[in-house]
Structure 1
Amino acid sequence: MNNRESRKMLLTTLDQLARLDPQTKEKCSQDAGQLASYMVERLKDQPPVAGATIRRNPNLFHL
């Protein structure tokens, strides 16, 4: 699963949770926000090496 799919799954889950339990949804949203902030800070400290772990797909981007 890539980042885009993970983000979509998280947003779908939070949307469903908002209908069932708004308080729990708010807590989960805050936790997700903290996790995203942590990931951004880690990427600033240790940026990924281009091409080291990512297989490039030439069909993804069309200029």
Structure 2
Amino acid sequence: MAEPRYPLLVGLPGGRVQHAAKLAADGEHVFTLCRKRGRPDGDGGGLPYCRACANRPNPISQQAGR
């Protein structure tokens, strides 16, 4: 089954919202659906979901088996 390209839910340091994100190649940073980049500061639990992420559709990965 295909999964969204941004499968993680993260909070960024100093942020006030939770973002949909994917892990960067370096394994430490994430790229968010709303085009931010940073080192995650937990899952952002208890924070409202980012409006910019909500306004963008989370694309489905076209790669089988990943």
Query: What TM-score, normalized by structure 1, do the two folds share?
Result: 0.24
Larger radius of gyration: 1
**Structure of greater relative contact order (alpha carbons < 8 Å, 6+ residues apart):** 2
Query: What TM-score, normalized by structure 2, do the two folds share?
Result: 0.24
